[in-house]
Structure 1
């Protein structure tokens, strides 16, 4: 009798491994583990290195400077006109408009256009903007890479800088 029960136990265990359901579940677990290992490896290998060591202190400094700028802001109304069809390596005219609290054009001492590429700081650039009319400034801009760009226009007057920012998308045409 002991031979019969041993044979049926061995045969039952062997049949469980032949089950497509068990093989499917094991295969699914293996696939999930392989995908997770691949993603972790890619995260370490392709790290863009955008994190700085003193991120908290730098963030606090930015917050303090923004609060200070808001408190000292002269009450200007600013807008940046960027065409919707900005494309790589194609010159694009951007215009900056600025008026004071009563709607009169403002004539800052200097107006500069800055373009920052969040994922590639080596592509950042800046250009001086030229006055087209009182309160209206323009610059011809050519972006070297497609994707998202953070743009900022800084207007300086009497030693004070007022900035206006805008995020734009540059198409790959």
Structure 2
């Protein structure tokens, strides 16, 4: 009775330890502690910078995204005067919170005045954070968008 219960307990602990060693990493950034300490300051700075620019933006992401299926992601931006922001460097970092090795960066191409797009395929299902960065001269706009990639 008790010996069987103890053996089961010890066996299950070894199983859980094995799963912990062979599953994906829990932390994906090298400087997670520093990022956590500075998170609120960074978010406040990002919001202030966005508000100071007064750019009107629209990030268009498909409602449903599937693994290994190429999707179009489009971004529109106009400045505070209503003029398209042209000649900007626009990129998306696709960040997978559970696996840093799957992260990738995609540059969006200009397809018209203030309109940028990229074709993106996500290799793994699950939650992804899209971090958009727009640079035009000294002006920098950053925004984030979370998506869920489905299996087919």
Normalising to structure 1: TM-score of the pair? 0.68
Map of 2:25 onto structure 1: 48
User: Could you tell me how far 1:66 is from its partner in structure 2?
Assistant: 2.6
Map of 1:122 onto structure 2: 101
5 Å-filtered alignment, 1:53-132, equals 55-73=32-50, 74-132=53-111
Q: Aligned to 1:128, what secondary structure does the other structure show?
A: strand
Map of 1:158 onto structure 2: 137
- 1:60–1:114 CA distance, 2 compared to 1 (3 A): same
Question: Is the 8 Å Cα contact of residues 114 and 151 (structure 1) preserved in structure 2?
Answer: yes
- Write the distance in 2 (CA, Å) between the matches of 1:44 and 1:94: 35
* Number of aligned residue pairs: 145
User: Could you tell me how far 1:135 is from its partner in structure 2?
Assistant: 1.4
Normalising to structure 2: TM-score of the pair? 0.76
Map of 1:135 onto structure 2: 114
- 1:56–1:167 CA distance, 2 compared to 1 (3 A): same
- Write the distance in 1 (CA, Å) between the matches of 2:25 and 2:72: 31
- 1:121–1:161 CA distance, 2 compared to 1 (3 A): same
Question: RMSD over aligned Cα, in angstroms?
Answer: 2.9
Question: Is the 8 Å Cα contact of residues 113 and 139 (structure 1) preserved in structure 2?
Answer: no
* Structure 2 unaligned blocks of 5 or more: none
More contact order relative to length (CA 8 Å, sep ≥ 6): 2
Q: Which of the two has greater strand per residue? A: 2
- Write the distance in 2 (CA, Å) between the matches of 1:86 and 1:169: 7
